[in-house]
Amino acid sequence: MTQLLEKALQKIGALPEDEQNAIASQILETLEDEQVWRQKLSRNPAKLRQLAEEALEEHRRGETRPLDETL
């Protein structure tokens, strides 16, 4: 386990149980989402390449905005 993860877990361990459970649920959901994306993208790497090329072309045409402007 990394030092950063140990530090995070120590801080989480100091929180009330309901907050610990909420954070644990978020972590597990994120890990599951990442696994689903990895599986989807590994089945069709050409699709990811195509989406990346489309995104770059949109950016070159000035059709994108910084994320902080959209939030």
Grouped pLDDT means (10 residues each) for the chain, 71 residues: 97 98 98 93 88 95 88 75
- What pTM did the predictor assign? 0.64
Cα separation, 68 vs 71, in Å, equals 5
What's the confidence (pLDDT) of residue 29? 98
What's the confidence (pLDDT) of residue 10? 97
Say which residue the tokens 């069709």 belong to.
44
| CB contact at 8 A, 24 and 16 | no
